[in-house]
Amino acid sequence: MSPIEILQEFNSCYLKIQAIAQNENWLLLIAQKKIDPEAATHLADVMHYLGEAMGCVEEIVEVKTIQNY
pLDDT of residue 52: 96
Q: Element (H or E) spanning 69, and its range?
A: none
The model carries a pTM of 0.81
Q: Along the 69 residues of the chain, how does pLDDT read in single tens digits?
A: 889 999 999 999 999 999 999 999 999 999 999 999 899 999 999 999 999 999 999 998 887 766 776
Please tell me the predicted confidence (pLDDT) of residue 58.
92
Question: Residue 39 sits in which domain range?
Answer: 3-68
Q: Distance between CA 3 and CA 7 in Å, rounded? A: 6
Number of domains observed in the structure of the chain: 1
- State the pLDDT at residue 63: 74
**CB 9 within 8 Å of CB 50:** no
pLDDT at 18: 97
Cβ atoms of 57 and 3 within 8 Å: the answer is yes
